[in-house]
């Protein structure tokens, strides 16, 4: 038991030895990267100290080539009195490396040693390693680098927006001609879109989409700084965002297969029973949107074994899951809420898995799933006033949606929301018909991160953090709270806290599904329900990707309050209204 707990602690905090559960590639295999590289230059100089001249040169786009004329360089000179340092802002969060092109500093002409510190916030870029949770886990973000004389060098990759450079050699000079980020990403179009009369909601939709886009690397990661891993439960909001914004992309089946191949039964994915359940739910959603029966058939043997394993953990209608019993971090100490959530998650996954078994012709397993669900529905555990538990119970029909909203979800507004399970709280609010209230919470909670300077959504956020908080894109003024250093919990304390986490993208999906009103309702993504809910918006319009093309829809509210809808769907797509 102690070994199991230790394994989970290492696994969930991203500290497993590198040799565990790695997919192997054949010797001499050649893989073509799906990623492209783009050069991004600084947008502003946040701070500098010591003898630094010409910093404005770094804001100019260059050619990426050292030059013998040695013009337009920034000069850093260190003395015994202190370092020469500069802090750069690249304007937005990115996954990438730093590239530095150098000049011809005077003799001695050897290399110069600099220290590089990346940060998702200004505070993180200014921090010492190990202080306030600053870490090099998953990606090296605090390191020394040798700069060649009249040359070019680049760092390894991480997730960051800010970069601090310190010249470490004493009584020395270094010349920087260019400093730029080599941003690595998938060059794919944003086929889905959302625009409304509320610019704040529009921005939130875009930031959620961008957050997931950054995490679509070789695999679909949870974070681009810390948690550059495939966490299957966390993938559910991410995959939903991929379906909504990008349509089909191979990164999804690639990541789902990695989770399956590295988790032989009777193991639980990531050591967490609900994460294996999420794998089933994602497979169902993926089939609903894309109808790839060939791919689904590849999952059949594992799916059947996993469903049998889940049903084997149900005794007299009550879930008794082993492994780590986990919903999300904020609820992780509430064993009563976790039991209620697990009861609901087990029902949800068995219903979705049973539906897939029917598609695959495995009627025996489908029948067993239905029978197990029938027994489980007779037992409704208490939600313990947990918004996570109440949302899940509502979504599987074990708690009246209106009561879930009035008794639990509405209390305290955005208090008690989480970036991961906030999506399911919003979904439960939609079940109760509380569309305007959900939009208000999206604006307050996810908009709160934007108010603090975020360009991507975070691993966790508490609305209470807004009080007296400094923006993350500025040096922390005296008397203000440093949000990145001061907060976080569990394994994401302080600067270890990821500020680009794909599981936080739920509003992007929610706004497209419930405001634009588009949802796939039959397997294959060829039949969509169209049911807009504008609340106080005067209009909403957007697009939704399908295998046959893009659906275009616009809703306009007339003077009487009646909504007028126009929709254009590709041939072969049926719209139910």
Which residues constitute the domain of residue 430?
193-520
Is the domain of 340 the same as that of 413? yes
CB 465 within 8 Å of CB 499: no
Whose tokens are 């599904």? That residue is 513
Is the domain of 260 the same as that of 145? no
Is the domain of 265 the same as that of 392? yes
Token couple for 321: 């899951």
Is 5 a member of any domain?
no
Residue 209 CA to residue 194 CA, distance in Å, equals 10
CB 566 within 8 Å of CB 553: yes
Is 78 a member of any domain?
yes
Is the domain of 152 the same as that of 205? no
The predicted pLDDT at position 70 comes to 87
Burial class (CB in 10 A: 0-12, 13-18, 19+), 202: middle
Is the domain of 340 the same as that of 456? yes
Is the domain of 284 the same as that of 399? yes
Which of 502, 528, 525 minimizes the C-alpha distance to 423?
502
Is 569 a member of any domain?
no
Residue 506 CA to residue 439 CA, distance in Å, equals 12
The predicted pLDDT at position 27 comes to 54
Residue 252's CATH number:
1.50.10.10
Is 223 a member of any domain?
yes
Is 20 a member of any domain?
no
Task: Report how far Cα 103 is from the mean position of its chain's Cα atoms.
Answer: 39
For 196, the 3-state DSSP assignment is: strand
Is the previous residue joined to 521 through a cis bond, with omega within 30 degrees of 0? no
Is 267 a member of any domain?
yes
CB 171 within 8 Å of CB 80: yes
Is the domain of 83 the same as that of 204? no
Residue that terminates a domain, selected from 520, 539, 569: 520
Residue 213 CA to residue 225 CA, distance in Å, equals 14
- Segments in 173-231 forming alpha helices (H): 199-215
Is 14 a member of any domain?
no
Is the domain of 176 the same as that of 216? no
Is the domain of 432 the same as that of 312? yes
- pLDDT tens, the chain, 577 aa long: 444 434 344 444 444 433 334 445 555 567 789 999 999 999 999 999 999 999 999 999 999 999 998 889 999 999 888 999 999 999 999 999 999 999 999 988 899 999 999 999 999 999 999 999 999 999 999 999 999 999 999 999 999 999 999 999 999 999 999 999 999 999 999 999 999 999 999 999 999 999 999 999 999 999 999 999 999 999 999 999 999 999 999 999 999 999 999 999 999 999 999 999 999 999 999 999 999 999 999 999 999 999 999 999 999 999 999 999 999 999 999 999 999 999 999 999 999 999 999 999 999 999 999 999 999 999 999 999 999 999 999 999 999 999 999 999 999 999 999 999 999 999 999 999 999 999 999 999 999 999 999 999 999 999 999 999 999 999 999 999 999 999 999 999 999 999 999 999 999 999 999 999 999 999 989 999 999 999 999 999 999 999 999 999 999 999 899 999 999 999 999 999 9
The predicted pLDDT at position 107 comes to 86
Burial class (CB in 10 A: 0-12, 13-18, 19+), 486: middle
CA neighbours closer than 13 Å in the CB half-sphere of residue 333: 3
Is the domain of 142 the same as that of 210? no
Residue that terminates a domain, selected from 156, 185, 214: 185
Is 72 a member of any domain?
yes
Residue 119's CATH number:
2.60.120.260
Residue 268 CA to residue 259 CA, distance in Å, equals 10
Is the domain of 177 the same as that of 220? no
Residue that terminates a domain, selected from 185, 207, 236: 185
Question: Can you state the percent helix, strand and coil of the chain, rounding each to 5?
Answer: 40, 25, 40
How many domains in the chain? 2
DSSP 331: G
Is the domain of 358 the same as that of 443? yes
Residue 351 CA to residue 343 CA, distance in Å, equals 13
Which of 207, 161, 126 minimizes the C-alpha distance to 485?
126
Phi–psi pair at 244, nearest 5 degrees: -80, -35
DSSP 253-271: HHHHHHHHHT--TT--GGG
């Amino acid at each position: 038991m102690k070994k199991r707990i230790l394994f989970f602690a290492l696994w969930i905090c991203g500290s497993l030895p590198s040799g565990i559960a790695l997919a192997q590639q054949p010797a001499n295999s050649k893989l073509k990267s799906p990623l492209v590289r783009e050069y991004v230059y600084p947008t502003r100089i946040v701070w500098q100290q010591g003898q630094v001249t010409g910093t404005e040169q770094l804001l100019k786009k260059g050619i990426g080539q050292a030059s013998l004329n040695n013009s337009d360089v920034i000069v850093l000179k260190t003395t015994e009195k202190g370092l020469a340092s500069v802090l750069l802002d690249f304007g937005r969060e990115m996954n990438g490396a730093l590239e530095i092109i150098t000049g011809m500093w005077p003799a001695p002409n050897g290399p110069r040693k600099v220290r590089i510190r990346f940060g998702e916030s200004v505070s993180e870029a200014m921090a010492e390693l190990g202080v306030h949770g600053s870490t090099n886990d998953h990606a090296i973000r605090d390191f020394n680098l040798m700069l060649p004389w009249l040359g070019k060098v680049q760092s390894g990759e991480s997730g960051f927006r800010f970069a601090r450079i310190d010249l470490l050699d004493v009584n020395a000079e270094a010349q920087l001609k260019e400093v730029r980020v080599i941003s690595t990403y998938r060059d794919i179009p944003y086929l889905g879109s959302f625009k409304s009369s509320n610019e704040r909601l529009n921005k939130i939709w875009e930031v959620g989409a961008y957050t997931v886009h950054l995490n679509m690397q070789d695999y679909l990661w949870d974070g681009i700084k810390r948690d550059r891993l495939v966490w299957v439960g966390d993938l559910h909001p991410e995959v939903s965002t991929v379906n909504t914004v990008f349509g089909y992309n191979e990164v999804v089946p690639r990541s789902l297969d990695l989770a399956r191949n590295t988790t032989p039964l009777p193991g639980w994915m990531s050591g967490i029973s609900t994460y294996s359940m999420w794998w089933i739910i994602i497979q169902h959603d993926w089939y609903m949107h894309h109808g790839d029966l060939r791919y689904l058939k590849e999952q059949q043997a594992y799916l059947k074994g996993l469903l049998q394993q889940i049903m084997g953990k149900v005794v007299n209608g009550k879930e008794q899951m082993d492994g780590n019993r986990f919903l999300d971090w904020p609820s992780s100490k509430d064993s009563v809420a976790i039991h209620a959530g697990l009861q609901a998650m087990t029902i949800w996954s068995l219903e979705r898995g049973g539906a897939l078994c029917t598609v695959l012709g495995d009627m025996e397993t489908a029948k067993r799933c239905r029978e197990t669900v029938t027994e489980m529905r007779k037992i409704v555990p208490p939600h313990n006033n947990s918004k996570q538990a109440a949302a899940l119970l509502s979504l599987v029909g074990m708690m009246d949606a209106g009561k879930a909203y009035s008794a639990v979800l509405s209390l305290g507004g955005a208090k008690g929301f989480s970036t991961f399970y906030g999506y399911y709280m919003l979904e439960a609010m939609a079940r109760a018909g509380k569309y305007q209230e959900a939009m208000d919470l999206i604006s307050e909670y996810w908009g709160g991160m934007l108010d603090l300077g975020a360009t991507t959504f975070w691993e966790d956020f508490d609305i209470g953090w807004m009080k007296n908080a400094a923006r993350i894109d500025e040096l922390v003024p005296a008397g203000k709270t440093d949000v990145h250093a001061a907060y976080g919990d569990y394994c994401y304390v302080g600067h270890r806290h990821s500020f680009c986490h794909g599981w936080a993208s739920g509003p992007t999906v929610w706004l497209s599904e419930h405001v634009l009103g588009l949802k796939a309702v039959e397997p294959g993504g060829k039949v969509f329900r169209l049911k807009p809910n504008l609340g106080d918006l005067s209009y909403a319009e957007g697009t939704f990707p399908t295998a046959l093309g893009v659906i275009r829809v616009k809703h306009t509210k007339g003077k009487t309050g009646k909504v007028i809808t126009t929709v254009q769907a590709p041939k072969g797509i049926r719209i139910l209204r």
